[in-house]
């Protein structure tokens, strides 16, 4: 087995909390506490990606996402931390008073190219053309996939399982539950569980891709990782369950009833969820695992995204 190297920007291990919500007790893994500015699951993946960017003497990192992308924000801040410039390609428009993640992208020096939704469908071609322009200026560019989800990036969540094994007895945890955008978090957890021979189910709430596209992408990521790093495992894909239908309002939107659950949970627990990922995932978690129960052995993984809440502050205040 080949284990890739990484830098150490993430503040890990992150804590596990026992929380009681509406009479039901459960565990929450606080991966929103991987850092302050770097808050969330993305930095676990970026520790690996930035190590390789530095090793290749990159002048710039390129990556892409929505205008409130947690991944782009974390990529820009991590790049600044290791002395690399960044350019991000965002689906959205510039704002006179940027908020949330976009505000931080600008504060930490990210160069931004805005794209329409139609242009964003051709993001790979756009980035490839931009890399050619930078190459003519003798600038080395290392581009990260959306969400940091590559066969290298998912090592952040392979090691997440190592971390969990040192914190809990997996006999008491039947599953791990999280939001899923690009699928890297779920893919890493599945590989980590296979390496440790754990019979743990992974639940993922798709907020961006269709259920079938997410399933295929996760499987593809895992197969590439197994091949590249010579892992002597076979992943049981029946251990992955994608809960569909919880982002029908669209990636950038959230329904008022979900915001009400976010606010109710915040008041009872002191923990806040974002409108794009964790808020939708927790709504699904509540419906499927918390209602009419006193306890639950499926752990909720809080993957961060706090800054996205500020961009939706009117919705949060007036829902």
Question: Any idea which residues carry the catalytic annotation?
Answer: 69
- Reduced to 3 states (helix: H, G, I; strand: E, B; else coil), residue 234 is coil
By the 10 Å C-beta count (0-12 exposed, 13-18 middle, 19+ buried), 85 is classed as middle
Quickly count: other Cβ atoms within 10 Å of residue 318's Cβ: 8
Q: Give the closest residue to 190 by CA, choosing from 148, 157, 143.
A: 157
In sign, the C-alpha dihedral spanning 112, 115, 120, 126 is negative
Are 107 and 135 in contact by the 8 Å Cβ rule? The answer is no
What CA–CA distance (Å, rounded) separates 115 from 64?
A: 10
What CA–CA distance (Å, rounded) separates 120 from 136?
A: 24
């Amino acid at each position: 087995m080949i284990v890739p190297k990484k830098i150490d920007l993430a503040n890990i291990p992150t804590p596990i909390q026992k929380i009681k919500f509406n009479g039901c007790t459960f565990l929450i893994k606080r991966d929103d506490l991987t850092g302050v500015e770097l808050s969330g699951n993305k930095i676990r993946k970026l520790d690996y990606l930035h190590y390789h960017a530095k090793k290749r003497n990159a002048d710039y990192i390129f990556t892409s996402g929505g205008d409130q992308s947690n991944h782009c924000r974390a990529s820009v801040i991590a790049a600044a931390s290791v002395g690399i410039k960044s350019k991000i390609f965002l689906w959205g428009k510039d704002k006179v008073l940027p908020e949330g993640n976009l505000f931080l992208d600008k504060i930490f020096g990210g160069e931004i190219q805005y794209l329409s939704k139609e242009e964003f469908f051709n993001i790979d071609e756009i980035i490839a053309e931009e890399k050619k322009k930078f190459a003519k200026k003798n600038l080395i560019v290392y581009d990260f996939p959306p969400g940091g989800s590559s066969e290298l990036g998912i090592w952040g969540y392979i090691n997440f399982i190592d971390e969990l094994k040192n914190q809990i007895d997996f006999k008491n945890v039947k599953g791990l539950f999280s939001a899923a955008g690009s699928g890297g978090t779920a893919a890493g957890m599945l590989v980590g569980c296979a390496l440790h021979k754990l019979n743990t189910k992974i639940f993922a709430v798709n907020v961006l891709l269709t259920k079938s596209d997410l399933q295929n992408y996760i499987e593809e990521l895992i197969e590439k990782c197994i091949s590249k790093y010579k892992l002597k495992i076979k992943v049981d894909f029946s251990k992955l369950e994608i809960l569909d239908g919880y982002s029908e309002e669209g990636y950038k939107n959230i329904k008022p009833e979900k915001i009400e659950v976010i606010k109710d949970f915040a008041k009872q627990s002191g923990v806040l969820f974002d409108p794009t990922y964790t808020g939708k995932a927790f709504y699904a978690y509540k419906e499927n695992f918390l209602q009419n129960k006193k306890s639950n052995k499926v752990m909720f993984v809080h993957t961060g995204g706090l800054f996205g809440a500020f961009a939706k502050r009117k919705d949060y205040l007036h829902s």
